[in-house]
Structure 1
């Protein structure tokens, strides 16, 4: 039985330290654990408020790991670390109940503590509230203390409990930040591996495919192959299929590279759109109207985004009217939103979420060629920048794509 209890205690402490790491705190350190700067400043302000409300000169937020007590926020004392065995809070925090002791020298739980006996401190008055999360985890306490005995009124105890809940909110913010950091690191690693894999596959497939297309072109130029014969028709189909496959390989490679090592800077929307329209041969057709806007984005990926959206507008134009495309946007202190609106076929509301998925095509009569990666690539570009992409109907018919880009620092 004793062995079982020891094993359970060991498991609980390992679990405690693992959970603290999820909050971005390293419990193995014998120096103070420091949350990010914004959380640390807010913790110190809450501790200061707690001491003033309770009329105590000292206050700390203690994080208790398997071996240590870490003071991550403090007022009236310098943050420090002590062993968990010496900690006063470690004796009571797992009870999940507030503790108020007018004179610690008279309380058997604390009378022999080095914080009371003078070995580390001379604590007399001591009050603490456990920091309990919604999941039931208790990382530590909010504690105020004094070197003189004193009492707390019920309303002061109530305020201490309120401030403890605010400390928990800050620690949860630290928790979510740590989770986002880990997710971002995993995503960046995954994207790098995907780009490398796609590059290798694309390279391995491109070589035999271009060889096949080269031989097709040689055979097509052979004078013995007569135009209009079955052989010529088969060669034409082989060539068309090969070129489509080669274009899809390029699209897959482009999609896999999105988000990898973006380098945002302010770019002129008009300049980038002009480059794309010249590449697509539509700069002199009178179908494109562009407003200027400063966009904080990776210039290469902004170019890829506009190229995909303009190509889609050309491929899915309406047979009932001449194509017209407008590019513009709005900007404020939050960032910029770029709008690309056309008067083409548009996309039905029930299909808009679906077409943002990779390799999804609607395959409607009269639609142009495509791999089904254009809008998915644009959506990934928006997300890689911390923004979003939405689809809506252009007034009068067509599709409007809105892409948001957060402001630069």
Structure 2
């Protein structure tokens, strides 16, 4: 018996084999299907997918035998990986000086062998797709072609699993980093709100106590401090809502009336300007995530109020139920959204660049949060707009089971 030689590139080859994380893994249907098909095509009782480790031949799939590994020093595959021809074939091992006294031949009657190397993208042979028979024989041209093609598919499966494992690892890492970022944003945002509240209160106290001692410019400085503090506070509140939207979207559904919900939102907005808000004609009994829906509508209606340059603001709200979804449409007569901004209007921190009714610039958080919540509620949102005439947002959310 001749023991297979060790390739000159063995260390690199072993590293390649182990990079696929397939050694000592359980059988998989995809590989077992290939070995069953290989045995059928080649008309043999045994077909294997093997991976050659340092001192053993691991059988990732074994059709026709009931063990999952054998010593490398007696393996036919140890010889096959060294042969650069398309297929390594031993027609009658009893007459071959390399194998005639091999235990696989003398004890298990492995007489015929044909193996195709499983070569990865870096050129290293990982193992073989091989077949055995207990009698001498040959393979037809068609069988050789099929064996080679199936070996190529085995390598494709190896590579696909490796890519999937890498993607899953990256996905998990991104998930962990995102969670860290959310926690960091939450902590920082909460910690910043109190100093900002103190700045607002302090500016009011300074104006009240020392206002008579300040000139017009000094009073303007106090106004700047207060207004900047309010702006930053709103920005932080928006960030908190954005990063906590996952929790909001995961809340249980509850039953409520659409009119009651909208009237509560309008009352919450405390509108003190000339505004006409037309509610849907039909009052729908809804079952959905009320908190998330309220946040969506609050953002959209508030935007219709803020980004409006008309003397009289007009907002039309429509709501219907169809095929297990609730459909909403919020239309206004506001300043509209420029065409070149439409594609990015839902991106985090994206703004139109225009000032609102009070001369303030948006922070680009509200609409991003809206889209995130709509998506979490298994819905979609779209926008249409004409500059100077108004904007219309349409979205739907899934009706929850009672």
TM-score by structure 2 length? 0.72
Correspondence for 1:393 among 384, 389, 398: 384
Q: Match for residue 48 of structure 1? A: 36
Q: Deviations over 1:181-228 (max 9, x none)?
A: 212210121012112222332233223222212222334555955999
Tell whether 2:67 aligns with 1:75: no
Tell whether 2:196 aligns with 1:206: no
Which segments of 5 or more consecutive residues in structure 1 lack a partner in the other structure? none
Q: Match for residue 3 of structure 2? A: none
Tell whether 2:350 aligns with 1:360: yes
Distance 2:103 2:377 in 1: 50
Q: Deviations over 1:74-110 (max 9, x none)?
A: 3222351334444432432364733233223334554
Which segments of 5 or more consecutive residues in structure 2 lack a partner in the other structure? 1-5, 270-275
3-state SS, counterpart of residue 152 of structure 1: coil
C-alpha deviation, 1:267, in angstroms: 4.9
Q: Match for residue 33 of structure 1? A: 25
Distance 1:377 1:356 in 2: 8
Matches within 5 A, 1:51-70: 51-66=39-54, 68-70=56-58
C-alpha deviation, 1:239, in angstroms: 1.6
Q: Is the 8 A contact 1:225 1:232 kept in 2?
A: no
Q: Is the 8 A contact 2:48 2:61 kept in 1?
A: yes
C-alpha deviation, 1:155, in angstroms: 0.9
Correspondence for 1:100 among 86, 89, 94: 89
Q: Deviations over 1:245-289 (max 9, x none)?
A: 012122233444566x89858858988997587346489943569
> For residues 299 and 281 of structure 1, do their structure 2 counterparts lie closer, same or farther at Cα, with a shift above 3 Å needed?
closer
Correspondence for 1:373 among 365, 381, 386: 365
> For residues 62 and 351 of structure 1, do their structure 2 counterparts lie closer, same or farther at Cα, with a shift above 3 Å needed?
farther
Distance 2:266 2:79 in 1: 72
3-state SS, counterpart of residue 61 of structure 1: strand
Distance 1:247 1:374 in 2: 10
Q: Is the 8 A contact 2:258 2:286 kept in 1?
A: no
C-alpha deviation, 1:244, in angstroms: 1.2
C-alpha deviation, 1:174, in angstroms: 2.3
TM-score by structure 1 length? 0.71
3-state SS, counterpart of residue 69 of structure 1: strand
Range moving further from structure 2, 323-332 or 102-111: 323-332
C-alpha deviation, 1:66, in angstroms: 4.6
User: Rg: which structure is higher?
Assistant: 2
Q: Match for residue 264 of structure 2? A: 278
C-alpha deviation, 1:156, in angstroms: 1.5
> For residues 306 and 366 of structure 1, do their structure 2 counterparts lie closer, same or farther at Cα, with a shift above 3 Å needed?
closer
Q: Match for residue 253 of structure 1? A: 240
Q: Is the 8 A contact 2:353 2:361 kept in 1?
A: no
Distance 2:395 2:112 in 1: 60
> For residues 130 and 9 of structure 1, do their structure 2 counterparts lie closer, same or farther at Cα, with a shift above 3 Å needed?
closer
Q: Is the 8 A contact 1:58 1:145 kept in 2?
A: yes
Distance 2:142 2:245 in 1: 56
In the comparison of the two structures, how many residue pairs are matched?
380
C-alpha deviation, 1:331, in angstroms: 7.2
3-state SS, counterpart of residue 163 of structure 1: helix
